[in-house]
Amino acid sequence: MPSVDVIVAVRNEEQNLPIFVEKLFALAFPPDVHVQVVFIEDSSTDGTRSMLRRIGGENPRVGYYMLARGFGQGPAIVFGLSRSTADAMIMMDADGGHPLEVLPEMVRHYLDGARVVQCVRNTLANRKAYRDIGAATFQLFARSVTGVNTHEQNIFFRLVSADVAREIIRQPRYWRWLRFPLPRRAGDLRKIPVDSQERVLGESKYDFRRLVNLAIDGILSLIPTARFAVILV
C-alpha cells in the first residue's frame, strides 16, 4: 500500500492544530493509500506541545517531533523529510494558507507517476499590500540574478516522491527556502493552481526583517555557482 506523510512545521499553532487534523482526515483520498501527518514543533511558546501530545495520543495517524531549539520553518520541514519512511511526502503549512482540499489531487498525480506535484498560487487573499509589492519585486530580481522563474514555486506547498526528498536532504542550500530545481522529464512534474489566503488564525511569524533574510537565502540557494562567479567578476 503506498504511503504519504504530510510534513508540517508548527510554531505557536495551538489553535490551528485541531482544525487542521480534523479537515485533513475528512478528505477523500484515493483508496488503498495510507496517509498520516507528521508535525515538527519548532520553539513554540504557547500550548502547541501539549496539543500535539493530546492529538497524537488520540489519533494513531498523527505523529510529531519536538525540536530542542528553534531552527526555522525550512530546516524543520527538512528534518521531517529525513525522518519519514513514506513513499511520498507533502510539505505544507497548518495555518490555512495552503488549501487542504487539493491534497487528494496531489496524491492522485503521484499515483499516476509524478515525482513532484507543485502547487502554484494564483491569488492570496488578506495579504498586506507591501507584501504583494515585495513578492513581485523579489520574483523579478531573483529571475534576473539567478535565471530561475520563482513564480512556479511561489509557495513551498508540494508533494515530492521519496527519491526527490532524499535529494533535498542532501543539499543544505535548499533547506531554508525550500525551493529547488524542479524535474523536467515528461510526466515527472505536475502543477496545481491554487487560491489561498494569508492566514485563518493567528499572526504571521514573518516580519519585514525575516522576509528580507528569507529573500536573500532564496537567491543564494538558487543561483548557480558559475553564474555567481560571473556576477562577482
Check whether 226 has a pLDDT greater than 70.
no
**Residue range 125-140: mean pLDDT, rounded:** 60
What local confidence, expressed as pLDDT, does residue 136 receive? 60
Round to whole Å and give the CA distance between 60 and 78.
Answer: 22
Check whether 83 has a pLDDT greater than 90.
yes
The greatest distance separating any two alpha carbons of the chain, rounded to the nearest whole angstrom, comes to: 59
What local confidence, expressed as pLDDT, does residue 192 receive? 97
Beta bridge partners of 6: 37, 90
Is the model more confident about 74 or about 177?
A: 74
What local confidence, expressed as pLDDT, does residue 130 receive? 54
Is the model more confident about 137 or about 22?
A: 22
**Residue range 8-31: mean pLDDT, rounded:** 96
Which residue do the cell numbers 542550500 mark?
173
**189 φ, ψ (degrees, to nearest 5):** -120, 130
Helix axes 129-146, 208-222, angle to 10 degrees: 20
Question: Any residues with CB less than 8 A from the CB of 161 and at least 6 apart, and which?
Answer: 87, 88, 110, 114, 115, 116
What local confidence, expressed as pLDDT, does residue 177 receive? 85
Helices (H), the chain: 16-24, 48-58, 73-83, 103-111, 129-146, 162-169, 208-222, 225-232
**Residue range 132-148: mean pLDDT, rounded:** 62
Mean pLDDT of the chain: 85
